[in-house]
Amino acid sequence: MPSGLRVSILGGGSAYTPGLIEGFIRLKDKVPLERLVLMDIDSRKLSIVGTMVKAMLEAEMPGAQVDLTQDRLEAIRDMDFILCQIRVGGLAARHLDESIALDLGVVGQETTGPGGFSMALRTIPVMVEIARDVETHNPDAWLINYTNPTGLVAEAIHKACPVKMISICDEPMILQEALAGFLGVDPEAIFMDYFGLNHLGWARRVFLKGHDILPVLRQQLMESPRVDLERIFGSAVMEDPKNRLELQNTLRIFLETGLLPSPYLQYYYFADEMVKYRLASGKTRAQEVIELEKAILVDIEKMSAGKKKPEIRRGGKWHADMMIGLLSAIARDSRSVYIVNVPNRGSMPELPCEKVVEVPAVVAASGAHPLAMGMMPAGVRGLVQAVAAYEELTVKAALEGSRAVALEALTCHPLVPSREVAKKLLDAYLRTHAKYLPQFGGNQ
């Protein structure tokens, strides 16, 4: 590995960025930085977050060069790693995605169900453009994507462009670190037999010193179900009612099924409850995040001005640990195991070979190589296959601008109750987000 990595972040004005930079600082001996480029189309957020990031690195990694830009190609050329966390249409578009679904009595969520469908239609063309820019201007670089919906974006890029890419989500690592915290062991001491799609995955076994601990853990929780979530996750995480409900439902699914699920499985297992919960709140989750982001940006300005003690309120350790660990595995060719989103290639034999799946993979300088995870339990196989078909059709619709294929995609999603509802959702999304969906102009 060179003396330091050259890393850029597309969407660098995000409130997540300081948490990621804190991780680079914490792990600077493992992953030193030579140059960091933050790129964002929002000049105000870029300036606010960039000022704090510069101060953080000047204090802890004074040799690292920091540049801010609104020029995407500047953030692509001469980089070793290009990290991507963009949001096409911003949080305002997310609010519309969620509220349109909720108005029709359907789960309104950023990545799951119709909301994720709408987000994918907007995001996939832009992400393919970025991948092609990387292929043209810096083909040796690694594109590390965590732009949502992660799995669909990864599948689209793999279909459209041969760029070097790994797509990640920190939810499996959150599960692993939370479980390790509960057990009082190092996260690296446990291995999760994890399978599925992004935001639709389960650990069917968790090994500690060669033994599957899930059956014993489940029995203990069933006998004494009171779990101190604050101790495991921290009070800052648990003060958000959304996080508390999500974690409670994750434990609920585990106790009922014996499978340790991604928290997003609550939208499938308890869809009616989730719709009622969100409607009763009077706000979409996007509106809550908009308020949170405003408060964070104000805090960042105060921190940069020395008027407030620095603290990381969004993103944080789990996200940073996975990202930086992944970069280190590639740069050092360490052959470390991470749960990532990669083409199936036989890892899950009941899904198509090139379908992007979320499974453990050996990550090295040559990329991510998925482990064989075998057959799915019968109780979840149908759900995964249905969502896999939806994802395949959604990617095709986004790349081709086909309204007919888009309707087929929505119709086969398990959270969409009928074809008539699918038509209403599609009409509303295409009309509302027309400026972000030029590929659908005139196509039926």
Output the six-digit token pair for 124: 């996939």
What residues pair up with 84 in beta bridges, in sequence order? 10, 145
The b-or-e profile of 261-272 (16+ CB within 10 A means b, else e) is bbbbbbbbebbe
- The catalytic site residues sit at 264
DSSP 226: -
Q: Which residue has the tokens 């029995």?
A: 219
Interior/surface letters 201-233, b for 16+ CB within 10 angstroms, e for the rest: bbbbbbebeeeebbeebbeeeeeeeeeebeebb
Vertex 213 angle, CA 209 and 216, to 5°: 140
Instruction: Tell me the residue type at 303.
Output: M
Name the 3-class secondary structure at 356. Answer: strand
As a whole number of angstroms, the distance between CA 399 and CA 35 comes to: 34
Indicate the Cα dihedral angle 237, 50, 367, 321, nearest 10°. Answer: -30
Give the strands of the sheet with 33-39, arranged side by side. 65-69, 33-39, 5-10, 81-84, 142-145, 165-167, 336-343, 356-364, 367-370
- Integer Cα distance of 43 and 384 in angstroms: 40
Question: Residue 218 and residue 222: Cα distance in Å, rounded?
Answer: 6
Q: Would you say 288 and 296 are in contact if contact means Cβ atoms under 8 Å apart? A: no
Distances (CA, A) of 73 to 38, 42, 154, 297, 361: 12, 16, 21, 26, 30
Query: Please, are residues 128 and 120 in contact by the beta-carbon 8 Å criterion?
Result: no
Which segments of 344-421 are extended strands (E)?
Answer: 356-364, 367-370
Please answer whether residues 185 and 194 qualify as being in contact, where contact means their C-beta atoms are separated by less than 8 angstroms. no
Give the strand pairing for 65-69 and 33-39.
parallel
CA distances from 65 to 61, 141, 317 (A): 9, 19, 23
Instruction: Identify the residue whose tokens are 């005139």.
Output: 442
